[in-house]
Structure 1
Amino acid sequence: MTSRAGSTGIDASLYRRQGQWCTALVDVSLGTTAAQEAVDALPEHVGKLLGSQQASEADIGALKTALVPAEGHAAPVARFVAVNNGEVVVDEIIDGLKVEASDVDCGPFPNLVALARARGGQFPYLVVEAGRDGGEVRLYHSAVQGVEERRGVTGDPEEAHHARKVPGTYSEPKNQSSTEEIWRRNADDLAKQIDELARENYVRLIVLAGDVKARELVASKLAPAHKPITSILEQHTRTGGADQSVFAAAVQERIDEVLGRDVQELSERVANRSGNGRSELALGFDEVVTALQQAQADTVLVGQYQDDETLIALKADPWLCGEGSDEHSELVIGSWPAPEVLLRATALTDATIRYVPEGVLPDGVGIAALLRWPKNTDAGD
């Protein structure tokens, strides 16, 4: 997997790659004999669909190879694969998505709408389990099952053991001080691992659990930028009797809180910009297209998917134009469903796209954009 759509949208570099693209969104659910048979037949079925769209043999072979079952994932589950010039560039499992019929596309740029809809608003986060002997940091993505990266800090058991040994007993101040210094050192190492992973992956949530004293030490040593996004769970998960299901539910609750705050914030931003002639808000299909043409859109908000509209994709700035337009004729690539062209233009103008639930946009509005600068002014004003 080389790219993921998140709250910041799709990686624009995908649209800048040359050559043909082939994408497939397919159901890879298991659990029944019929489902297993359907998954087994997928490579040949998708290969035929690609062949009918004049895909190259290299692209067909690469995509067929990637279509493997989603072992260990509860149904429904889909797989999204994008291939460019015989290379699998994106290969992701989408949990919870039911695909009724395989969706296969070939063209000069990738159709990443399904992936963006599934991933939009999701984010990377860390789960940390701290102990006095060290701890573990795990990197996850809120829309993806399983650990993406794992790092650990393991203190030296012999060092801790000798700090408690004779002369005297652990309760004596000298030996207790030595032991606590080891704990502080382990906490410092663990905090450094957290800060590094958080910074490299732009995490939006750090869930910290474990031994009471250890998690307090770790929390105190985190970088100032990461303390506000740290949520401490009053659970000692590094014990043999720890209930992992309770722990997982508590982590999911923190994730849901972040997602809920995001939607609430977007709703408030739309409401706040709806007055004063809404100079910083584009409402409706035509206004959003205009904003994207001017690279004025900061965040595109999609409540309805605009599947009944089409747009013309351009090979350079301004990246898109409406059907029937005679402007930029020398840049025209072709006409495609609006969701594909809108997503491409959003990525190529460094904007964000969010697929939002009902209630965020005003009644009767299916698409909107929060603007970088007010309408009827120049970017430099």
Structure 2
Amino acid sequence: MASRAGSTGIDASLYRREGQWCTALVDVSLGTTSAQEAVDSLPGQVGKLLGSQQASDADIEALTAALVSAEGHASPVARFVAVNNGEVVVDEIIDGLKVEFADVDCGPFPNLVALARARGGQFPYLVAEAGKDGGEVSLYHSSVKGADESRGVTGDPDEAHHARKVPGQYDEPKNQSNTEEIWRRNADELAKQIDELARENYVRLIVLAGDVKAREMVAGMLAVAHKPITSILDQHTRTGGADQAAFAAAVQERVDEVLGRDVQELSERVANRSGSGRPELALGFDEVVAALQQAQAATVLVNQYQDDETLTALNAEPWLCGEDSGDHAESVMGSWPAPEVLLRATALTDASIRYVPDGVLPEGTGIAALLRWPNASESAS
């Protein structure tokens, strides 16, 4: 995929690309004959919808070619595809999302709302499994199944266990020292791979499992900045009898803990900024729009999706305005449902967006924004 919409923000470069955009959100679940038939009919069905919206032949061909089933994924599962100028720019599987009818959209900027809702709040994390003869480390994203990238460290098993193979010699200090030096080298190499992946991807969690001694060595060799985000599982996963289901459940528990802390932190930040005239918090649709127009919003928090509102998208700052506004007439691109325009403005002002559960925002508030700087009039009062 080209980008992910998550708690760290939306990839603004997608909105800066010129030309027509076409997006499709479709059900690609398998499991029954009728489901397979439905997936097989998607290219024709979506192609007709794209044609009715004046999509180019290149866009239709590229998008429909990407509409393949999601084998190996439990139902329900959806596929989101975004095409720009005949190029597939985003192609993502969204597990757990039930799509009743194909949602197809064409316009001058991509409609990424469905992807943002599914991916909002996600974060990258690493799972490392250490052994005395090496190990593996894989990069994951919290709302995406499957590893995004994996790296391995493979030592020489015969070399590592040579002292054990010579009867009566393993206890000799020289042989034992040589063997432990091999283990240390393998651990050091695995720690370097973990640190590199963690730095490159700004991971927020490292889960470390494997052989007891090996994982202890790896943990001790990690960069200082990564030790606080490392969680060690007391599981030796690099054995034939390892319970992989229990391991996956334990990893998911650590991921859920991070997600839970995120929501709790957002709730506390909203509560802390709600008093004394709340100069650092925008509450409600109009205030959030005003904050985005000034690039003042740091994090937009959405509890209700504002589907009944419409906004005007602009091709230059401030990127959006009310549908009835007479301002910025020279920059008007057109009017769209508010969630699409809000998401675009959030990205283009380098803000982040979170779709939050009930209880984070004050009762009766569907949308809010944590501000980069306080409102002058309220902070002065």
TM-score, normalised to structure 1, is 0.97
* Residue matched to 1:293: 293
Q: Secondary structure at the match of 2:90?
A: strand
Q: Give 1:165 shift.
A: 6.4
Q: Give 1:367 shift.
A: 0.2
Aligned residues: 378
CA distance in 2, matches of 1:69, 1:167: 56
CA distance in 2, matches of 1:31, 1:234: 36
Amino acid at match of 2:256: D
Q: Which runs of 5+ in 1 are unaligned?
A: none
CA distance in 1, matches of 2:326, 2:6: 35
Matched-pair contact (CA < 8 Å) for 1:284–1:368: yes
* Residue matched to 2:28: 28
Q: Give 1:377 shift.
A: 7.0
Q: Give 1:67 shift.
A: 0.2
Matched, 1:149 2:176: no
Matched-pair contact (CA < 8 Å) for 1:6–1:120: yes
Q: How big is each residue's C-alpha offset from its partner over 1:175-202, in whole Å with a ceiling of 9 and x where there is no partner?
A: 1111111111110000000011111111
Structural mapping, 1:144-293, within 5 Å: 144-163=144-163, 169-293=169-293
Matched, 1:134 2:134: yes
Q: Secondary structure at the match of 2:305?
A: coil
Amino acid at match of 1:215: R
Q: Secondary structure at the match of 2:216?
A: helix
CA distance in 2, matches of 1:360, 1:106: 34
Q: Give 1:249 shift.
A: 0.5
* Residue matched to 1:52: 52
Distance 1:377 1:206, change over 3 A: farther
Give structure 1 regions of 4+ aligned residues with deviation exceeding 3 angstroms.
161-168
Instruction: Please report the RMSD computed on the Cα atoms of aligned residues, expressed in angstroms.
Output: 1.3
Matched-pair contact (CA < 8 Å) for 1:164–1:176: no
Matched-pair contact (CA < 8 Å) for 1:6–1:122: yes
* Residue matched to 2:109: 109
TM-score, normalised to structure 2, is 0.97
Q: How big is each residue's C-alpha offset from its partner over 1:85-127, in whole Å with a ceiling of 9 and x where there is no partner?
A: 0000000000000001110000000000000000000111111
* Residue matched to 1:306: 306
Amino acid at match of 2:180: E
Matched, 1:66 2:66: yes
Amino acid at match of 1:226: H
Q: Give 1:9 shift.
A: 2.5
Q: Give 1:164 shift.
A: 5.0
Q: Secondary structure at the match of 1:22?
A: strand
Query: Which stretch of structure 1 is more off in the superposition, 79-88 or 142-151?
Result: 142-151
Matched, 1:318 2:318: yes
Q: Give 1:159 shift.
A: 2.6
* Residue matched to 1:76: 76
Percent pairwise identity = 85
* Residue matched to 2:361: 361
